[in-house]
Structure 1
Amino acid sequence: MRAALVERFGPPQGLVIGEVPDPVAGHGEILIEVAAAGVNFPDVLVVAGTYQILPARPFSPGKEVAGTVCAVGAGVHRITVGDRVLAQLEHGGYAELAVVAESQVVGLPDGVPFPEAAALGLAAITAHFALVRRAHLRPGETVLVTGAGGGVGSAGVQIAKALGATVVAVARDEQRAALATEQGADHVLLAGPSMREEVMALTDGRGANVVLESVGGDVFASALRCTAWEGRLVVIGFASGELPTLKAGHVLVKNLAVLGIQVSDYRDREPDSVRTVIEELLGLFVQGRLTVPIDRAFPLEEAGSALAAVEAGGLRGRVVLTCRPVAPVAQTPVG
């Protein structure tokens, strides 16, 4: 099979397309013919060699795939050959075939295309766990989402709305602000020095009950000051490249909770919980309450360019790789 390979750590353009032996499904594993693979910012870090989990080289990056099951190993009971599926994995997604444990695989409902399924996975799972598992979001609360228009930010806006929250989205430019508005944000702001004052004005001086923070740097500092008394700020990432310093005084005087989310830990420790969340997210997609805009789709041969596009930013939606020809899927009308 063909795969995009990391032979040495470095920039995305260093990925090599090569022929490698076809993988074989072992006990409890499933072999998937990959139709589409999600391209995520953590993949950029993996290829650069700066991510917290790095396999031995050479290896194929890629943490989420959608495709068709072409073989199953002994001990597999829930999934069968021919099923259309979405799967999570630590690496190995940028390839024509992928082996995944059955515990990490979810069947796709009719009408969900492979590219959208692959693009939905990691970002939406992260946003859901951040809101529900970590922040314990309650209906009627206000959620502040930084990095709106990005993968996790877009999912966070929509999932928070679906859970009954008022959403304040913070975007870095007008293009992403427009996308956040389309996705249902109640209020949209541009990141800048007046962020705290604007959020406080929108919330009658209370601030946001829950903050999803994925930017870092100065945005993190402003977001912390926007958090309401007994609010919960969830640290998702540092897209700006600047790791922030936490001012503990703000945490103390406002009784704040600053929380982290490393969603792959849930994948490994609680696969049943992750499958339940994915099934809920796919349900929202089928209902038209969660959209997954795709900015660009690259063929497998251009995996390096796909990662470079994610690294550069400025996208209006997700990036996916098409690893095999993707047949159109009839969409089920909503309403």
Structure 2
Amino acid sequence: MRAVRCETHGEPESLTVRELPEPVAGTGQAVVRVDAAAVNYPDALIVADRYQVSAPTPFTAGSEFAGTVLSVGPGVENVAPGDTVMGASFTGAFAEQIVVSEATLSPIPHGLSMIDAAAFGVTYRTAYHALVTIGEMRPGDWVTVLGAAGGVGTACVDIATRLGGRVIAAASSRERIEFCRRLGAVEGISYQSENLKERIKTITGSGADIVIDPVGGAHAEQAIRATAWGGRYVCVGFANGEIPRIPMNLVLLKGAILRGFEIRTLADHRPDAVAEATVELARLISEGMRPHVSEVFGLDDAPRALGLIQNRAVRGKVVIDPTM
């Protein structure tokens, strides 16, 4: 089978497509034919060895996929050959086949294509939990989304709007803001030409009720300064590579609530919230919610796709189709 390999840590252009033996399912595992694989920002960090957890080389890049079960190993009870599934793995998704624990797989919600399913799982679950489980969003809340035109950002704009939030989309250009308006954002702020704190205050009057931040860097403090008293700032990641240093007196004076979470470990701590989110997301899908996929690439173009994500040059999600 063909797979996108990282043989030494580095930039996306260092990745190469290789022929590998087809995987074999062990105890508790399933082999899945990858029909689509999403490209996520952490994939670039893992390739560059800048992620929180290091992946020893060589490895197959990619972490999120949708496909069809080809075979299962001993002890597998919940999936069978022929099932269509979506799943995630630390590495291995940019390939024609992947072997994973059955515990990482879930049925594809009715109404999603393979491309949709690959693009949906990580970003939409992350967005839902950031907004609802961690951010405790209520209808009518002012929700500021940083990096609003990216994968997690667009999912946040989409979900918050559908749940009754008033979304302010913060992005790097007017074109990206207009894209977010089409997803439901009621206002937009351009980092390049506007003062983030002042604009949030002007738009909301009393400040943002929730800030969702997958970006990090200097904008984090400005966004916290623009929260209403008791506002919630939810840290989702650091896409710009800079971890913010927040003055704690600011948190004290504003009564701000700073929270964060990692989607990989949430189920260990809040299985109830994961089950609740599954039901609610299925309802939203049934009402027409779909991820925005801007481009689809073949395996040979995976380095280019990962580079676009790394440089934040896409709107919404990018997906790999191994059949192309």
| Normalised TM-score (structure 2) | 0.93
Query: What is the Cα deviation at residue 271 of structure 1?
Result: 6.9
Compared CA separation, residues 150 and 190, structure 1 to 2 (3 A): same
For the residue of structure 1 that corresponds to 2:160, the secondary structure is helix
Matched, 1:252 2:252: yes
8 Å contact kept, 1:35–1:322: yes
The one-letter amino acid of 2:85's match is V
8 Å contact kept, 1:112–1:286: no
Q: Distance in 2 between matches of 1:26 and 1:12?
A: 31
8 Å contact kept, 2:6–2:60: yes
Query: What does residue 240 of structure 1 align with?
Result: 240
Q: CA RMSD in A?
A: 1.9
Q: Distance in 1 between matches of 2:76 and 2:283?
A: 24
Q: Distance in 2 between matches of 1:134 and 1:128?
A: 9
Query: What is the Cα deviation at residue 275 of structure 1?
Result: 6.3
Query: What does residue 58 of structure 2 align with?
Result: 58
Query: What is the Cα deviation at residue 274 of structure 1?
Result: 4.2
Query: What does residue 170 of structure 1 align with?
Result: 170
8 Å contact kept, 1:103–1:272: no
Query: What does residue 332 of structure 1 align with?
Result: none
Query: What is the Cα deviation at residue 160 of structure 1?
Result: 1.2
Q: Distance in 2 between matches of 1:255 and 1:319?
A: 38
Deviations, residues 251-283 of structure 1 (Å, cap 9, x unaligned): 001111111222111256667854653554344
Query: What is the Cα deviation at residue 108 of structure 1?
Result: 1.4
Q: Distance in 2 between matches of 1:270 and 1:7?
A: 36
Q: Distance in 1 between matches of 2:148 and 2:227?
A: 17
Matched, 1:314 2:301: no
Bigger mean CA offset, 42-51 vs 186-195:
186-195
Query: What is the Cα deviation at residue 242 of structure 1?
Result: 2.7
Query: What is the Cα deviation at residue 224 of structure 1?
Result: 0.9
Q: Distance in 2 between matches of 1:127 and 1:109?
A: 17
Query: What does residue 113 of structure 2 align with?
Result: 113
Query: What does residue 293 of structure 2 align with?
Result: 294
Q: Distance in 1 between matches of 2:103 and 2:211?
A: 31
Name stretches of at least 5 consecutive residues in structure 1 with no aligned partner. Answer: 326-335
Compared CA separation, residues 268 and 96, structure 1 to 2 (3 A): farther
Compared CA separation, residues 324 and 277, structure 1 to 2 (3 A): farther
Bigger mean CA offset, 192-201 vs 171-180:
192-201
| Normalised TM-score (structure 1) | 0.90
Compared CA separation, residues 272 and 305, structure 1 to 2 (3 A): farther
Query: What does residue 94 of structure 1 align with?
Result: 94
Q: Distance in 1 between matches of 2:155 and 2:312?
A: 17
For the residue of structure 2 that corresponds to 1:52, the secondary structure is coil
The one-letter amino acid of 2:316's match is G
Q: Distance in 1 between matches of 2:194 and 2:214?
A: 17
Compared CA separation, residues 51 and 255, structure 1 to 2 (3 A): same
Deviations, residues 223-270 of structure 1 (Å, cap 9, x unaligned): 011111111101122223332220111100111111122211125666
For the residue of structure 2 that corresponds to 1:313, the secondary structure is coil
Q: Distance in 2 between matches of 1:64 and 1:268?
A: 19
Query: What does residue 324 of structure 1 align with?
Result: 323
Query: What does residue 123 of structure 1 align with?
Result: 123
Q: Distance in 2 between matches of 1:282 and 1:73?
A: 29
8 Å contact kept, 1:29–1:100: yes
Correspondence list, 1:17-166, <5 A: 17-166=17-166
Q: Distance in 1 between matches of 2:270 and 2:229?
A: 31
For the residue of structure 1 that corresponds to 2:57, the secondary structure is coil
8 Å contact kept, 1:104–1:271: no
8 Å contact kept, 1:106–1:279: no
Identity value in percent: 38
The one-letter amino acid of 2:43's match is D
8 Å contact kept, 1:298–1:321: yes
Query: What is the Cα deviation at residue 8 of structure 1?
Result: 0.3
Deviations, residues 95-124 of structure 1 (Å, cap 9, x unaligned): 111112222211113431111211112111
The one-letter amino acid of 1:245's match is R
The one-letter amino acid of 1:201's match is T
For the residue of structure 2 that corresponds to 1:264, the secondary structure is coil
8 Å contact kept, 1:106–1:275: no
Q: Distance in 1 between matches of 2:63 and 2:41?
A: 11
Query: What is the Cα deviation at residue 321 of structure 1?
Result: 0.7
Paired positions, count: 323
Q: Distance in 2 between matches of 1:268 and 1:301?
A: 36
8 Å contact kept, 1:119–1:320: yes
8 Å contact kept, 1:106–1:278: no
Q: Distance in 2 between matches of 1:273 and 1:65?
A: 23
Compared CA separation, residues 273 and 324, structure 1 to 2 (3 A): farther
Q: Distance in 2 between matches of 1:136 and 1:227?
A: 15
